[in-house]
Amino acid sequence: MNIPRTSYPRVVIIGGGFAGISLAKKLGKKEVQAVLIDKHNYHTFQPLLYQVSTGGLEPDSIAYPIRKIVKDYPNFYFRMANVEAIDTENKSVCTDIGDLAYDHLVIATGSKTNFFGNSEIEKHSMVMKTIPESLNLRSLILENFEQAILTSDLADRNALMNFVIVGAGPTGVELAGALAEIKKGILPKDYPDLDIRRMKINLVQSSDRVLPAMSEVASEKAEDYLQKLGVDVWKNLRVTTYDGDWVQTNGAVNFKTATVIWSAGVKGATIPGVDGEELITRGNRILVNEFNQVKGFDDIYALGDIAAMQSDEYPSGHPMMAQPAIQQGKHLGKNLIRKIEGKEMKPFSYFDKGSMATIGRNKAVVDLPKFKFQGVFAWFVWMFVHLFFLIGFRNRLVVFINWVYNYIRFDREARLIIRPYKKRKHMSSQ
């Protein structure tokens, strides 16, 4: 990888998400040689991917060049690579651009979509964990309507306008809400020759409430908002399979649809070499101690979604979201310096800032540790918080302008099929 060895200890960070970047910022100007590896050359602000999929934001304004983040750090290296394995024997990371020795290794690979072993669902459904995936979904949604115009078969047309979102966590709820707003504000004007009332947005949740990780009141309010927006919420319903045509469930209802978006679960993105049975717990996460050290290793750490730091308060680890990743990244930054300086590391303690989700314009739910609120104010809080955590002044400004514009104009102008997702079938002429 053309990275010279120096007198500084080398810290290799795998993953440029919230955890990896927070750690990088702490180590940047310290006396360590840090190497950040990511398969993309940019950091992705995942909480807003659903707005890319629904044409509300440009992909480029929720992505930020990693090299720009680290450019002022004297001993910092970035490499764009896929990590294939970790050789803990020889303390080396194996990637598609070669191997790299480490003194300290930090695994911040985050999470990936969990299909719970259902390969048929995996084959036919869309996911939304990366920008390319979100753009594929954006293309598919629009291609479906372009195709719906052309087909004279009513069942086919309805299937093209039928959207099934599996999983009512924040991603599923926010996507369902955004689709409902497009249905109301944009599609009837864009497709006057389609009966958009036939468009259906189904949100399927296996448990008895949406946003199960949030408070009861948030769940109730969110479901109320979704219903007001015209989303069909299906609770206590489990999707068993999808063959690209029909969604089968464990209930009485099945769905004929061209589009299934799978947001029913994530699992840790483990790497061969540090994925031994004794290390892995629920959700395919790596067991770590209170210093984020991987069980049984003194020099390997795991952060964020991939790390399960079990405690009495969080028996199965912290929630898989941005805040624990950011806080663990910052904390490990300080701890690594301490360790390198021969000092004691300090245990991590998570400060729960709460959680939130937006359903649509003026409709959001916020759970703070002390109190919970919903509605317009919650919506403004949601926007402010997301702008705050976006990286980069330009990104913040462009996102803000898009939000103001979309709000005033009830519009979403990035409804572009830049790269078609599917080849449209031949249609009979008329």
Task: Enumerate binding residues for a second copy (CB under 8 A).
Answer: 1-3, 40-42, 58-61, 63-65, 67-68, 71, 77, 79-80, 96-100, 131-132, 135, 142, 146, 149-150, 152, 189-193, 392-395, 397-398, 401-402, 405, 411, 413-419, 424, 426-430
Shortest distance, CB of residue 429 to a second copy, whole angstroms?
3
Tokens of 295: 């069980």
Looking up tokens 């290793």 gives 297
Q: Bridge-partner residues for 113, per DSSP? A: 266
Question: How far apart are CB 416 and a second copy at their closest, in Å?
Answer: 5
Among positive and negative, which fits the CA dihedral 333, 336, 341, 347?
positive
**CB closer to a second copy out of 145 and 262:** 145
Q: Which amino acid is at 338?
A: R
Question: Is 108 within 8 Å of 17 (Cβ atoms)?
Answer: yes
DSSP 302-365: E-GGGEE---SSSTT-S-SSHHHHHHHHHHHHHHHHHHHTTPPP---------EEEEEETTEEE
**Residues 5 and 28 sit within 8 Å (Cβ to Cβ):** no
d(Cα 65, Cα 365) in Å, to the nearest integer? 31
Q: Closer to a second copy at the Cβ: 22 or 395? A: 395
Q: What are phi and psi of 300, to 5 degrees?
A: -120, 130
Residue number with CB closer to a second copy (70 or 279):
70
Instruction: Name the H helices within 117-169.
Output: 119-124, 131-150, 154-160
Nearer to a second copy, 370 or 426 (CB): 426
Beta bridge partners of 414: none
Indicate which residue of 58, 84, 120, 174 is catalytic.
174
Asked whether the beta carbons of 247 and 148 are under 8 A apart, the reply is no
- Residue 356 phi, psi dihedral angles, 5° rounding: -155, 160
Q: Quick one: CA dihedral 44, 46, 48, 54, positive or negative?
A: positive
Beta pairing partners, 372: 367
Q: Which tokens in the block code for residue 280?
A: 């892995």
If the CB atoms of residues 157 and 267 are measured against a second copy, the closer one turns out to be 157
CA separation for the pair 320, 312 (Å, rounded): 17
Measured at the alpha carbon of residue 113, what is the angle toward residues 104 and 211, in degrees to the nearest 5? Answer: 110
DSSP alpha helix (H) spans, 125-269: 131-150, 154-160, 170-185, 187-190, 216-228
What is d(CA 362, CA 380) in angstroms, rounded to the nearest whole number?
8
Residue 291: count other Cβ atoms within 10 Å of its Cβ. Answer: 19
**Is 31 one of the annotated active-site residues of the chain?**
no
Task: Provide the annotated active-site residues.
Answer: 174
